[in-house]
Amino acid sequence: DGVVDIYAELLHQSEEGDGVVCHLLSSRQGRLGEWTAANRSVLTTLTDLEVKQGEALDFATVCRGDPKGDTYQWAPTITMKSAEMPGMAGMAKRWDARSNFLNPDRMPQPLGPWEELAQVLLLSNEFIWVE
């Protein structure tokens, strides 16, 4: 349980599209926010939002009428001041959509045969025990 702040910039730069509508929904509290952007930038912020353990926050985006040209960017950051980042004393806990969610185009490549062999050797007893 705690209190969070949510901040993001909703960016819709296409002159062709009619814009997008972004929603922030809570499994416990329902709709918390709605923002519309059409060929402009909009700040989407919510402060002092009380959340409970197990509550889901969903960030949803829909096109307004025609999906053509409705490319957008929206990467919310959630900050909980009452919790600290692991190993970073004094720094508020943060979840950043831009850095905490993996782009499928940037998936890590599997290890090659030589890399797998090196990994196995590093995990073997000969490297673990020093006599």
Bridge partners, residue 34, by sequence: 23
User: Are the C-beta atoms of 49 and 5 separated by less than 8 Å?
Assistant: yes
- Please tell me the predicted confidence (pLDDT) of residue 130: 66
d(CA 80, CA 91): 10
Q: What pLDDT is stored for residue 74 in this prediction?
A: 92
Dist. CA 97–CA 6, nearest whole Å: 11
Q: Which ranges of the chain have pLDDT less than 70?
A: 102-104, 127-131
Classify 117 as helix, strand or coil: helix
pLDDT for residue 122 = 85
The pLDDT, as a whole number, for residue 104 is 66
Q: Which among 34, 33, 44, 36 has a CA at the least distance from the CA of 18?
A: 36
Question: Cβ atoms within 10 A of the Cβ of 44, count?
Answer: 18
pTM: 0.69
Domain ranges in the chain?
A: 2-101
Q: Residues 81-109: pLDDT tens digits?
A: 888 877 778 888 888 988 887 666 777 78
